[in-house]
Amino acid sequence: MRIVLDEQLSPRRVGEPIARHGHDVACVASESGLRGLTDHELLTYVAAERRVLITRNARDFVPIARDWADAGRRHAGILVIWSRDTDEFGALVAELVEAFAAVGGQRAWANLTRSL
């Protein structure tokens, strides 16, 4: 899976363990080219790169995803995390890996907005 972790998610505590499960992980917090992008710009980037966005920012990304759907714009997937506190890294990584397996490959995530 090609993934981008939004800035609220730790590259070390979330990104690295997900990568050890065989996923290609980019992290906003650790990549200078991604830091400072607006939410719209970040979704445009992940769509162009065909990466699933993982975020805790439901307040902004859920309406953006709805607007994109209404406009017929496509993205590679958005996974919004509601269920875990920020310090529950092991459980969060396990849930993310399980969600990737449950939905299927990269193409199965196209235009899907899902929550944990």
pLDDT digits (tens, 9 = 90+) for 33-88: 999 999 999 999 999 999 999 999 999 999 999 999 999 999 999 999 987 666 68
Per DSSP, the three-state class of 105 is coil
The letter for the amino acid at 43 is: L
Structural domains in the chain (count): 1
Structural domain harbouring 69 = 2-115
Q: What is the DSSP letter of 9?
A: S
Average pLDDT over the chain reads 94
Indicate the pTM of the whole model: 0.94
Identify the band that residue 29 occupies on the pLDDT scale cut at 50, 70 and 90. very high
- Within 13 Å, how many C-alpha atoms sit on residue 46's CB side? 34
**79-103 average pLDDT score:** 87
Q: What pLDDT shows up at residue 62?
A: 95
